[in-house]
Amino acid sequence: MDDPVLSRRVALDILVACLDKGQPLDDALARHQGFANLDPRDRAFVRLLLATTLRRLGEIEEVMGFLVERPLEGANAAGRQVLRLGAAQLLFLGTPPHAAVDTSVRLVVDAGLPHLKGLANAVLRRISRDGPALLGDRDPARLNTPQWLWESWTESYGEEATRAIAAAHLIEAPLDLTPRSNAQFWAGQLEGDLLPTGSIRREGGGNITELPGFAEGAWWVQDAAATLPVRLLGEISGKHVADLCAAPGGKTLQLAAAGADVTAVDISARRMTRVGENLARAGLSAKLVTADAGKWVTDETFDAILLDAPCSGTGTLRRHPDIAWLKDEQDVGRLTLTQDRLLVRAAELLKPGGTLVYAVCSLQDDEGPARLEALLGRDKRLRRVPVEPAELPGIVGAITPKGDVRTLPSMWPERRGMDGFFIGRLQKG
């Protein structure tokens, strides 16, 4: 007989690892052996429950603030996460009240907090009865966006655009796939929509390894916006191209499929192993180097370089809602130092006349245009190459006044959005 508490117990462990211990959600999922041992239906439920809890955490906290007088901290911290999971089920997932309440009460006991049974029961029963009224006409976009992000986006994009970005983050992202070739054929096979940029978009969920074309590497998972940096390199067939900070490898596969002679560099051996596996599955090849790209010692120079630098990831909150609660302004400040170091090294590795594309999946200006301007001020051999509208088919409003690219999660609302990227293109004289 199925134990309805088991999947929720796994979700609790992972939420504690994420919010109380600072682990990224994807890492916490990968490390939890119990999650891997769940059947596919329960794994899907755990993912949905965690994503919803994190995506709607601001609203959940607003409701909890009315019902829990004393903060659940220290030894009682796990109880706070139990209540958050229970509230997410009741407020947003439509879980039957008896199931959400009873399993939550069992969870606090299992967590060694039997003294919280009464509190969990009372709070969640109140939410099950009065949840919509407690939420009232509050502002979901504002409540679910941390203050520092809201302020920085408002400064960069204005109030209206910030509200649209925040609203887009509340919608579960669809599944985007990049076909190796024969895009129209695979869109039909996968029952997906062929986007103007060449990606195939379909509903998320399910086991992607069971989809047509997975085994033969006919496509790979990659947000539509993440495909744009490679497109902006232009014709690369036969060219020697470096993909710096290459993992998880979608852009490496794009480059190889376009006929480039690719050298992919990343600091993580584990992630590079995954890149190699995906290349092999797709029947593509690239030279793989495990190294810190900013310190990589090589005699090679390159016709083109793609640098998708480590960043805060604030443009990917649709897919990674934990980032909103795990990152802060100090993280952005530290990352800009890394981005500057990588850009300087990329410029050194680029041949005269070569093209450098810099990309970050961040909405923070400090990680995007500010880094490009710093490099241009530092290295007078480089010049900006503005992007033309024809290079971004179907995407309106993404080209900045200086000719860089800024995609926002609120773009393509009729297609359920895209990740937020900054992309700049330079040429070396």
Q: Is 308 annotated as a binding residue?
A: yes
Q: Is 247 annotated as a binding residue?
A: yes
How far is Cα 82 from Cα 49, in angstroms, rounded to an integer? 12
In the chain, how many domains are there? Answer: 2
Q: Is 248 annotated as a binding residue?
A: yes
134 and 179 co-located in one domain: no
Task: Judge whether 268 lies within some domain.
Answer: yes
Q: Are strands 350-360 and 302-308 parallel, antiparallel or unpaired?
A: parallel
- Say how many CA atoms lie within 13 Å of 241 toward its Cβ: 31
The answer to whether residues 387 and 232 touch, using CB atoms and an 8 Å cutoff, is yes
DSSP of 340-394 = HHHHHHHHHHEEEEEEEEEEES---GGGTHHHHHHHHHH-TTEEE-PPPGGGSTT
**Residue 320 forms beta bridges with which residues?**
none
Task: Judge whether 54 lies within some domain.
Answer: yes
Respond yes or no: is residue 361 known to be catalytic.
yes
99 and 181 co-located in one domain: no
Task: Judge whether 10 lies within some domain.
Answer: yes
Dihedral of the alpha carbons of 58, 64, 69, 73, in degrees to the nearest 10: -60
3-state percent breakdown (helix, strand, coil) of the chain, nearest 5: 50, 15, 35
- Cα-based distances in Å from 238 to 59, 97, 257, 304: 52, 61, 11, 11
How far is Cα 72 from Cα 4, in angstroms, rounded to an integer? 25
Q: Residue 73: its pLDDT value, please?
A: 86
70 and 200 co-located in one domain: no
Q: Is 249 annotated as a binding residue?
A: yes
DSSP of 220-272 = EE--GGGGHHHHTT---TT-EEEEET-TT-HHHHHHHHTT-EEEEEES-HHHH
Query: What does DSSP assign to residue 423?
Result: E
198 and 331 co-located in one domain: yes
Task: Judge whether 168 lies within some domain.
Answer: no
Domain that holds residue 13: 4-138
Task: Judge whether 151 lies within some domain.
Answer: no
Q: ω into residue 4 within 30 of 0, thus cis? A: no
Task: Judge whether 157 lies within some domain.
Answer: no
- Cα-based distances in Å from 351 to 17, 234, 305, 346: 45, 16, 9, 10
Residue that terminates a domain, selected from 138, 159, 183: 138
Domain with residue 123: its CATH number is 1.10.940.10
291 and 408 co-located in one domain: yes
Q: Kindly state the helix (H) or strand (E) to which residue 125 belongs, with its residue range.
A: helix 117-135
List 361, 382, 387, 408, catalytic entry? 361
How far is Cα 320 from Cα 324, in angstroms, rounded to an integer? 8
Q: Residue 131: its pLDDT value, please?
A: 86
How far is Cα 398 from Cα 117, in angstroms, rounded to an integer? 51
Q: Residue 2: its pLDDT value, please?
A: 60
Q: Kindly state the helix (H) or strand (E) to which residue 292 belongs, with its residue range.
A: none
187 and 334 co-located in one domain: yes
271 and 380 co-located in one domain: yes
Task: Judge whether 124 lies within some domain.
Answer: yes
179 and 134 co-located in one domain: no
195 and 104 co-located in one domain: no
Is this structure's pTM higher than 0.85?
yes
Q: Is 246 annotated as a binding residue?
A: yes
The answer to whether residues 19 and 325 touch, using CB atoms and an 8 Å cutoff, is yes
209 and 84 co-located in one domain: no
Print pLDDT tens along the chain (429 aa).
367 899 999 999 999 999 999 999 999 999 999 999 999 899 999 999 999 999 999 999 999 988 988 888 888 999 999 999 999 999 999 999 999 999 999 999 999 999 999 999 999 999 999 988 888 888 999 999 999 999 999 999 999 999 999 999 999 999 999 999 999 999 999 999 999 999 999 988 778 999 999 999 999 999 999 999 999 999 999 999 999 999 999 999 999 999 999 999 999 999 999 999 999 999 999 999 999 999 999 999 999 999 999 999 999 999 999 999 999 999 999 999 999 999 999 999 999 999 999 999 999 999 999 999 999 999 999 999 999 999 999 999 999 999 999 999 999 999 999 999 999 999 999
Task: Judge whether 238 lies within some domain.
Answer: yes
Q: Kindly state the helix (H) or strand (E) to which residue 334 belongs, with its residue range.
A: helix 329-349
Residue that terminates a domain, selected from 138, 155, 187: 138
63 and 193 co-located in one domain: no
234 and 360 co-located in one domain: yes
Domain with residue 376: its CATH number is 3.40.50.150
Q: Is 28 annotated as a binding residue?
A: no
Q: Residue 1: its pLDDT value, please?
A: 39
DSSP of 10-58 = HHHHHHIIIIIT---HHHHHHH-HHHHHS-HHHHHHHHHHHHHHHHTHH
